Structure 1
Amino acid sequence: MVRLHVNAHGKNKKVINKRSYGKVHENKIFSVCHARCLSMFMTASSSESPEAASSIVRLDLEEAPSSHFDVADEARLAALKRYQSVYSPPEEAFDRLTRLAADLFDAPVAYINFIGRDRQWTKSCVSEECPPEVGFDLSFCVHNVQEEGPMVIEDARNDERFADNPVVTGEMPITESGEGVCFYAGVPLTTSDGYRIGSICVMDTEPRAPDPGRIRQLADLAAIAVDELELRAGYRYHEDILESITDAFFAVDDNWTFTYVNGKAEKWLQRDRDELIGTNIWEAFPGAVDLAFYERYKTVRDQNRSVQFEAYFPPLDSWFRVHAYPFREGLSVYFSDVTERKQYEQALQEAKQAAEDANASKSRFVAGVAHDLQTPLSVINMQSELLRNEAGGAASEYVENIQSATEQLQSMATSLMDLAKLQNDSPPMQTEACDVRSVLGAAVSAIELYAEREHVTLYSNVPPRPLRAVVHAESLRRVVDNLVTNAISYSEAEDTVAVYAAPSHEPPQAYPGHARKETHEGGEKDALQRTGQVRITVSDNGPGIPPELLEDLFEPYVRGDRGSGSGLGLTVAKELIEAMDGDIVVRSEEGEGTAFYVFVPAAIVPSE
């Protein structure tokens, strides 16, 4: 009996190459034997002496690993487990290899077996009988995997390990004629990380001398078997990833045929993957041809670029968010069902539209009521003026109160109409370039008598040169009038209200708390210095505005304890300024005063 061990190390080291992303590289398990080694092998195998016949020829090259092998090693068993194909039914890919092995050796029996902890499983066989598993007491391959290379037994009847094996003695014959095993040749199946998990082998009922060339070819078949396992393990690895992702996924080839569909895609497409794979996508879903899906997928394929989009698919009454990517053989598609989000967005939009419609209806109602009030209020005001001219004594005071209340109601009605108009998608405000100084001058002149009556000092400070801005002059005057009137009404006697105007890039005039903010908040000064705008400042040294009112100061009907207006003035002022593409900012410190900063677009002065 001759046992051949070809250990693959050193210069011609034969190992299974590392895999990279499922790609399988050409590999072999052991090197081509050197001529000297083959000569030794042939000499031993042809010898007729018992000593020579029982000799062991080892081709141990450099860097040979330890010969220790533990079939129950947990790491080896874990390596075996990761190849799930080991435990699956026979497959044609492995059956081809056993048929080749049998033809190569002209042998009646060939196996691919895997060695577990205490059992041998048959993955593929060429045999009249193919037991799915056997115990180690009957297994040749369990001895093979303990070797570091091929194992060849010329005549098992002369090998003490197998002489009384029922498979050898004929008690469990391998052929219908009742003959047992004599010849065995096997090569371990060695994984890329070096674990021997099984073998590919051939058996014959006649003793025979080993052929080194055929042994090398059997080793190549072993390498192919491991390649197949690695390919399937890599496929399962990526399949596991695709099955575990939260997105649905499918792939189609260049002919638009489904090649893969994951479980989530089955659920959202409401089709079984076995039904889809191998089917043309447009035949499976003809309703998608006239939708965005067809054009977008065609873009991916024709322009070799990825796309992402959201589209509604009526046959499934569903919205999908899709990411499609090109690859060499077709395109891959990741998608998710966003129907609930779309329904929520639609409901939100409908609610928003309903609210806007209700607000517009309310605004029209308020504007109508305010407009209708103007006529009777005008009559009351006119009649009270006539009555005051005829009345005397205490009656005159009552008439003045009536007139004051009427004027306040007229102001409120006007503000309500203005606010309704501004908030009801009215046409854009017509603006033009004008000199801001004239607008401020007119506003201040109209309020001077009111300031004198309240014993408040009112002055303005405007630059001597023209200061042009793009505004609606009358609306800007109303804003300044409102801000100055408010400042006076909240001031004490002997207080001061000032109106400034300057290009916004210049430093602002001192305002309440300015010194402290400029020292401790470096960005505060910059917030009031801008480019391309004109800044109008209305400030006072009155009581200031409580902090709790500042945040909602421009909301309707918000006013301080001393306010006597409608509470709509600042709201209208802000709406008017924003309609002119401007902005209004307030700074206030209790006990120090308040400043309003109005920013409007500066007019571009042509260069001469």
Structure 2
Amino acid sequence: MHSEHPLFQEDSNTWIHGLTTSSRLSALTQEMFDVFWILTPAGGMQAISSSWQTLPDQQDFAYPGRGWLDAVHPMDRQQGEDALHEAIDSGHTSELVCHIRSDDNSYHLVHLRFIPVREASGTINEVLACGNNLTRQMQTEQMSEAQVQLALKASGVGMWDWNLLTDELIWTDQKRALFGLSPEIPISDERFLETLHPDDRERTHQRNMQAIAEKKEYNKDYRTIWPDGSVHWLTDRAQVICDETGKPTRVVGATLDITELKHKEEELQEAKDEVTTILESITDAFLCLDSQWRYSYLNQRMETYLGKKREEVLGKEMWKVVPMLLGTIFEDRYRTAMATQQATHFEAFHPAFQRWVETYVYPQPDGLSIYFHDISERKQIEEALRESEARFRLLMESNIIGIITTDRNGNILEANAAFLSLLGYTQEDLATGQMKWDIITTPQTRARDTETIEEALRTGVAQPYEIEYLTKSGKRVPALIGRALFRREGSPPLFLCFVLDQTYRKEAEKQKDLFLGITGHELRTPLAALRGTLQLIERRLRRFINKTDNLTPEMVSFFEGIQKNLANGVRQVDVQTRLINDLLDVSRITSGTLKLSLQRCDLVPIIRETVEDLRLVTPERQLLLELPEDTPVNVLVDQNRISQVITNYVTNAIRYSSSDQPVHIGLAVQENMARVWVRDHGPGLSKEAQEKVWRCFHQVKEVPVQSGSEKGLGLGLYICQILIEQHHGEVDVESTPGKGSTFWFSLPLTNENE
């Protein structure tokens, strides 16, 4: 193989210009050109570079010779020889663009230069062939542009260029994509403004004009509306470019989609607004301090507590705004929390707020957040509770009434001397567990105890009820007990019970019942005799009138007047008898001695017979019956008591309705109940009167008596209610003012086997 030229072979024997000069020239040539070699004037290769061997893969071609032409495309070989000859003939560099084969058998476009090398004598002995690979440069440039476009696309940045002289606007494809526009749509400043949200167009246009006038870099945010109607936030960063005279000629810029960022900002602002709204709406005070003890935030309630607007205190040191906190528990706890970064919680009277507050202190990296909950009312309640407990303790120790504290199982935890004395026990007995609830109460009252405990758990109090206690000696003691629920924090529910000894009251009731019984008997006996006497006189007078034929009209009128007075006397006796019976019934009801004589019977005859008796007493009134025909209605009742109820209903209907209006009495069977009703055409009752009419001794004052006797004692309907309830039935009234009333009661039906 031909030896390398001394330009590339530093140890060659043919050293032309010296080692240093040759090495420098070799390095410079290899750095400047992609490929080069040295030719003789005849075109033979005298020396080659390593890049020549790499590019056309010509290392197998022999030296010297014209092997380099084999690597040139056949169509370019003649041009290559012509360029070589031109350089030799003219003594100047000639240029040629030709295709040289690469190692993969593809051809690269190479820019060749043939540079003649003259000796000192002026003779051209060598030609330096240097070339640059244009194909590789173009590939590199294309790759660089592609990489830029790829980077821009990946980053989402759209580029634009606005020629202010021609008003031409150039957008990259990525810029168009940010506006939802396809590449073929023409772009102008007017079209750009049309794509913007109506609220942003004028502002954006003015921003552009201002930046051009000021000749500076600028930013702007705006919204664009895509063809599909969606709204997107974009931001522009642009630079105004001026010519040598300072006149703006172009604006170039970059556009980025910030929709997600704007949404995040909106969400963050909404969250901040929500937090602010919460802090402003809470009923408690809240403030924030920075690390220098300066106010950075306070809500409206805090303004109220301080008596200052937030503008007056924000940025000011707390110790100067409220110096009265110095030396208090508030200063101590605040400084400790700030130093240790540990949250704290305490209760204290705030000297600036002039109220008790529950204070929560939360350290933050840049200060403290402090929350105040007003507990003044709670403190007042606690103080009132302490005073109440002291008064209760005084009452308990006064032993006026029996007072005990129990748990939900009835176990007595505390008892005063009055209660212990009532049952014959001592405090030692209570302490040693001898006063268990199942020992001091009877089985008959324990179910009632359970009910009242549940009632107190639901409502806080239980209605007082009568109970019988068993004393230590086994004697039964009647008492009235009431329960109230109270709770101790962290403890199970407890009950405070007030116990009243009913021994003397029960004895008084017994004496009263005895008195009423004797009095009732003593009163009814003469009334019965008086009634019999009046009836006897009335019958004899009627017989005398019938047997005497020669009575003058004056005598007939006189005797009829006597008969009328006798009948009135009988009715008054009946009224008094009924009143006495009502009083006795009420006495029996209150004492629990009212007895019923229950028998299975048909209700229809009871109603019919009672109404017939009333027709005899009040022949002037029309009593209309509506009873089922040939259908027995079997019930288990005390016939006399049911007749008493019907009589009371009908008597009231007669009393409170006009004498020319009928009274209707009926019976209906509904499922398993028999319902008896009495309807009148009186003035009716209001809703309030309907609720009160069943009370003992209640009289409806706004409803006047229209016929018959005056009002009674207000016991009749009360007794009727009790009697029907003891028959396991119900009573009620249906009435509309001005349209009469219907009183009814119901009784459970029985079958023949009962």
Scaled by the length of structure 2, the TM-score of the pair is 0.33
CA radius of gyration, larger in:
2
Which has the bigger relative contact order, CA under 8 A and spacing at least 6? Answer: 1
Larger relative strand fraction: 2
